[in-house]
Structure 1
Amino acid sequence: MEIKGSEWITEDTKKSNIHIGQKNPHAVSGEQTKKNIAKRKGGEKLLEGGKSNDIEQEPKQKRKKKKNKAKKAQKMQAVQKSDRNIEKCISYLKRWHEDRQNWKFEKLRQIWLLQNMLDPSKVPDSSFKILVDYISGTRGHARQMIVEKTMKVIKAMELWSKLSEEGLKEEDIAIQVPDGKVPEVMYERSRSILQSLDDV
């Protein structure tokens, strides 16, 4: 049985005509498509009369509450972690001061100490004297960062003092000194650190 080219085309066309008349079991109606899109977008689902589906809203509220609780728990853990981190950094500093043979350099601890060196709530006064000694031995980029940070604080404080002596109001001074008024403690700490770097 030999099929010529034109017979083959007619045979194939007959088969496709059969498929055209049948319904595709996977086809979705236009209304169903709209519902699916609304589900994916998370939009409010409407029932047949235009009323919103309150049953489906309740789980969303529960999910939001759970999300908020999880965020609060994460914040609490971050605070506890930061407290532990403060303790670890202060003990690192004390170990450097008291027991250098067993002390080991830790870059992350040094970075934290340098970032928080002017904050008395993180580096207490009792540990600050040790920190000044520790800082006086720094070299390279860390030393440069320390000088820049302390000079910025000192310049801001001096500018603030100069402008207030000239009789400007605090609002006007705040415009000229974008970082705001520097606390006295930060200024004193900056001066101590710079002096220790100059002594070396």
Structure 2
Amino acid sequence: MGGKKKRSKTMQNTAENVEVDNITEQHTENHDDNGSQENQDDTELLDKKVTKRAHADDGSDSDSEKPKKAKKKKKKPPVATEETSNKKGKKSIRQMKKEKYAQRQADAQAVAKDQLKSQCLNYLTQWKHDKQNWKFMKAKQVWLYKNKFSTQLVPEANWPVFLEYFESATGNIKKMLLDDAHKIIKQMDEWTESHQNEDTEDKEDEASSVTKPDENIYNRARSLIQCLQE
């Protein structure tokens, strides 16, 4: 019974489908006869849409090809330099640091020079008054030799001990002292001679080229020659 019902339903559905297909074919034929004009209109409309789409695509490309406006860079604030700071009457931080460093270096050198001066003068004094604990030091002797004509580094109070020390010295140091002293004496003699003969212009020019030695240097040179001359 169930199988017969299923077959009857299938046959009924098939008949309905055939009827629908016939109706569709008739409608299609009528539509083909009467809708040729409509199809043409639809084709033209489709072409227009395609054309517009193409133009739109071309426009987008052209817009993308347009150069973008460059972004404006923010101007950085001017950095303070030594020149600008000097114009305003103020020193830059870098310049102030340089000056402080140079001042520290100068102060350190001045302290070192004072310490060396004190050590060399003590060396000379110890030789005079404490020979048992005194030791020869070539560096200090060289310092005394180089500064023999300076009244600031070798004061007048230490000069007599200076002469005694080098009078007892051995080696080539005495000859070197005498050579330096004779140069000062010669320079003073040339200056004196040039000023005694100022009758001609040539002599005046010669006199202007000769420098008179300092009086203290000249007196020390004479003392060295008198003390060390054999």
Match of 1:154 in 2: 185
Output the CA distance in 1 between the equivalents of 2:76 and 2:178: 63
Does the aligned pair in 2 maintain the 1:154–1:187 contact within 8 Å?
yes
Letter in 2 for 1:54: P
- Calculate percent identity across the aligned residue pairs: 31
2:207 match: 173
CA contact (8 A) 1:160 1:173 kept: yes
- Mapped to 2, the partners of 1:139 and 1:83 lie a distance apart of 28
For the aligned residues, what is the CA RMSD? 2.8
Q: Against the structure 1 CA distance between its residues 92 and 170, is the aligned structure 2 distance closer, same or farther, given a 3 Å change threshold?
A: farther
Task: For residue 145 of structure 1, report the CA deviation from its aligned partner.
Answer: 1.9
Q: Is the 8 A contact 2:185 2:221 kept in 1?
A: yes
- Higher mean C-alpha displacement, 141-150 vs 92-101: 141-150
**CA distance in structure 2 between the aligned counterparts of 1:153 and 1:53, rounded to whole angstroms:** 63
TM-score by length of structure 2 reads 0.57
The corresponding residue for 2:222 is 191
Give 1:85's aligned amino acid.
L
Deviation at 1:104, TM superposition (A): 0.7
1:124 to 142, 155, 159: 155
Q: Which amino acid aligns with 2:196?
A: E
Q: Tell me which residue corresponds to 1:70.
A: 101
Which of structures 1 and 2 has the bigger CA Rg?
2
In the alignment, is residue 55 of structure 1 matched against residue 86 of structure 2?
no
Against the structure 1 CA distance between its residues 170 and 52, is the aligned structure 2 distance closer, same or farther, given a 3 Å change threshold?
farther
3-state DSSP of counterpart to 1:140: coil
- In the alignment, is the contact (CA less than 8 A) between 2:198 and 2:204 conserved in 1? no
Q: In structure 2, what is the equivalent of residue 135 of structure 1?
A: 166
Deviation string for 1:85-118 (max 9, x for gaps)?
2111111100001111111111111111001111
Q: Which amino acid aligns with 1:129?
A: P
SS in 1 for 2:172: helix
Specify the alignment match of 1:112 in structure 2: 143
1:19 corresponding residue in structure 2? none
Answer yes or no: is the 8 Å Cα contact 1:174–1:181 preserved in 2. Answer: no
In the superposition, relative to structure 1, how do residues 170 and 54 fare at CA in structure 2: closer, same or farther (>3 Å)?
Answer: farther
Question: For 2:204 and 2:221, how far apart are their aligned partners in 1?
Answer: 23
Instruction: Name the aligned partner's letter for residue 173 of structure 1.
Output: A
Q: Which structure is richer in relative contact order (CA contacts within 8 A, separation 6 or more)?
A: 1
Cα 1:56/1:151, change in 2 over 3 Å: same
Question: CA 1:130 to 1:65, structure 2 compared with 1: closer, same or farther past 3 Å?
Answer: same
Question: SS state of the match for residue 122, structure 1?
Answer: coil
Q: Distance in 1 between matches of 2:123 and 2:205?
A: 42
C-alpha distance in 2, partners of 1:78/1:135? 28
Structure 1: state its 5+ residue gaps: 1-47
Contact in 1 for aligned 2:182/2:221 (Cα 8 Å): yes
Q: What is the SS of the residue equivalent to 1:54?
A: coil
Distance in 2 (CA, whole Å) between partners of 1:61 and 1:121 is 38
Q: 1:190 to 1:52 in 2, by over 3 A?
A: farther
Aligned-partner Cα distance in 2 for 1:171–1:76: 43
User: Distance between the aligned counterparts of 1:164 and 1:96, measured in 2?
Assistant: 44
- Residue among 91, 115, 118 paired with 1:84: 115
